[in-house]
């Protein structure tokens, strides 16, 4: 009887959700939710990630675009998805670290998301319609001050990083520009090309091909250092705007409660991805840099950003008032 009881207990341990996840995962198609429209930085990063994970994990990985509200819609969808290891978010800094501070969201980024790893980083590029008489950041500031509320800028949606980077710029420079939201960085960039809006602080992925084609004019990057992909473009801070550094990231995040073995397996796969030559080449083509962080490092980075943006948004509100 003792032998039988021990066998039953052993089977129960093996049949626990964590053990089953470790033994069988992945046993079916994995879904990567991209909270933005197709064609932009996050979407392309998601597709590069999906291709690598298919080879590494031996299962089909599909990308599903769920745009809306600056990435909030898709991020919230993943936060509320089953924690079974088959739905992940290709999340961004705007929807994770900025939006929950700037407005009310249904998810708390520090409690309702399970970060696994940042996979890439990219600076924003300040682009303007070439018909505007603006070739530098000082000229942009002067033009905006001479025409308060008349310059329009496109973003990936209210509450996202593209939106609040311009809000921060306005606060730091004493300018006032009019926000026009879109469902992603690619549509916002296309609007600059078409002359529907005057400018955008867009991801380099969307800016590079248009800059090369001459359909937009790049005047600066928002990162702390110049980008190796556009070495001739100064940083915003270089041009005289003090304490201005904004950089975007994409990372893989799971629903809360996802089994630890799944998190660990996905983390190991993403570590390999960051070192893969083909991935590095693919990300370089869209102006992005591969990155790997542990789940603990990613969680700490989000907490730090939430604190930073809490202070920055207070500054923006105080300046407006």
The pLDDT tens digits for 75-125 are 999 999 999 999 999 999 999 999 999 889 999 999 999 999 999 999 999
220's CB contacts (< 8 A; 6+ apart) are: 125, 126, 136, 137, 233, 234, 235, 236, 238, 239
Residue 187, both tokens: 């549509």
> Using CA atoms, how far apart are residues 208 and 230, in angstroms rounded to an integer?
9
Given pLDDT bands bounded at 50, 70 and 90, which one contains residue 312? confident
2's CB contacts (< 8 A; 6+ apart) are: none
Mean per-residue pLDDT, 308-317: 83
Whole-number pLDDT of residue 321:
54
User: CATH 3.40.190.10 region(s) of the chain?
Assistant: 123-246
188's CB contacts (< 8 A; 6+ apart) are: 154, 155, 156, 162, 180, 182, 197, 200, 202, 206
Given pLDDT bands bounded at 50, 70 and 90, which one contains residue 237? very high
In CATH terms, 123-246 corresponds, of 3.60.21.10, 3.40.50.10490, 3.40.50.1820, 3.40.190.10, to 3.40.190.10
The pLDDT tens digits for 181-209 are 998 889 999 999 999 999 999 999 899 99
What's the sign of the alpha-carbon dihedral 18, 271, 88, 248?
positive
The pLDDT tens digits for 143-178 are 999 999 999 999 988 878 899 899 999 999 999 999
Report whether CATH 3.65.10.10 matches the domain 17-122+248-312: no
> Using CA atoms, how far apart are residues 44 and 279, in angstroms rounded to an integer?
12
User: CATH 3.40.190.150 region(s) of the chain?
Assistant: 17-122+248-312
Whole-number pLDDT of residue 189:
96
């Amino acid at each position: 009887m003792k032998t039988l009881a021990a066998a039953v207990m052993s089977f129960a341990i093996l049949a626990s959700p964590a053990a089953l996840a470790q033994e069988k995962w992945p046993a079916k198609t994995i879904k990567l939710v991209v909270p933005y429209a197709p064609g932009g930085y996050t979407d392309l990063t998601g597709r590069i990630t999906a291709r690598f994970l298919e080879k590494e994990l031996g299962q089909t990985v599909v990308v599903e675009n769920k745009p809306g509200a600056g990435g909030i819609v898709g991020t919230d969808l993943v936060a509320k998805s089953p924690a079974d290891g088959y739905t992940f978010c290709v999340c961004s800094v705007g929807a994770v670290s900025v939006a929950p501070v700037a407005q009310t969201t249904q998810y708390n980024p520090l409690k309702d998301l399970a970060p696994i790893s940042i996979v890439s980083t990219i600076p924003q590029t300040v682009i303007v319609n070439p018909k505007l008489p603006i070739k530098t950041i000082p000229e942009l500031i002067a033009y905006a001050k001479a025409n308060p509320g008349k310059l329009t800028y496109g973003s990936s949606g209210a509450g996202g990083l593209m939106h609040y980077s311009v809000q921060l710029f306005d606060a730091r420079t004493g300018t006032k520009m009019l926000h026009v939201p879109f469902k992603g960085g690619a549509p916002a960039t296309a609007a600059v090309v078409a002359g529907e809006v005057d400018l955008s602080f867009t991801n380099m992925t969307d800016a590079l091909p248009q800059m090369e084609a001459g359909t937009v004019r790049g005047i600066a990057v928002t990162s702390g250092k110049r980008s190796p992909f556009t070495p001739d473009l100064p940083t915003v801070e270089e041009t005289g705007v003090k304490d201005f550094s904004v950089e975007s990231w994409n990372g893989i995040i799971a629903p809360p409660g996802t089994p630890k073995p799944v998190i660990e397996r996905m983390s190991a796969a993403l570590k390999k991805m960051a070192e893969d030559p083909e991935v590095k080449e693919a990300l370089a083509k869209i102006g992005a840099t591969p990155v790997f962080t542990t789940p603990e490092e990613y969680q700490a980075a989000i907490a730090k950003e939430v604190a930073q943006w809490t202070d920055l948004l207070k500054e923006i509100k105080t300046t407006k008032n």
